[in-house]
Amino acid sequence: MADTTETGNAENCMEKLKSYVKTRKGTILAAEILISLIIIICYVASTYGGYSAVAICEMVFAIIFFGVFMMEMDKQFLVVHWVWSDFFRAAVGTLLYIITSLVCVIGGSGDGARIAGGVFGLLASILFGYDAYTIYLELKSSRQHTAASTDDRV
């Protein structure tokens, strides 16, 4: 007799993926994964392939956080503060992409793939910066809602 629970889990996972990509955070993470993949392709086609390390790391981290948030594991593993971790990931990604992209654009004369990777890296830094900003707003609003009362009369 066939086990039907396996296909049910696959359908459930696919439905979670479809519904999470439609959210704002899911769209941002999917765009970060896609632009990092484009940057990896550009840097690998370049004569200087060493710049692809930043894009690879940021893509892997974005995939991890996409999976954690999609499967709602952030509500199960409470040991890690996932929002702060995501904020640091996005902020560090912004800084690293700005630095490596400026180096590639400024010093990439004669290497079109390196310059293209640098331009896409600058676009990625804007995307990662926007992600960090939205996470910061989320952290700020959650801190205001859970602030303790400072009223001494209570």
Q: Please write the tens of the pLDDT for every residue from 77-103.
A: 889 899 999 999 999 999 999 999 999
Q: Is the pTM of this model over 0.75?
A: yes
Q: Is residue 4 part of a domain?
A: no
Q: Is residue 15 part of a domain?
A: no
- For 105, the domain range is 23-144
Structure confidence at residue 54 (pLDDT)? 94
Q: Is residue 38 part of a domain?
A: yes
- Residue 147 gets the label, from left (phi > 0), alpha (psi -120 to 50) or beta, of beta
CA distance 60 to 64: 6
CA 6 to centroid of chain Cα atoms = 29
CA distance 130 to 133: 5
> pLDDT confidence of 1, banded at 50, 70, 90?
very low
Into how many domains does the chain fold? 1
Q: Is residue 154 part of a domain?
A: no
Q: Is residue 2 part of a domain?
A: no
Q: Is residue 1 part of a domain?
A: no
Does 112 score more than 60 pLDDT? yes
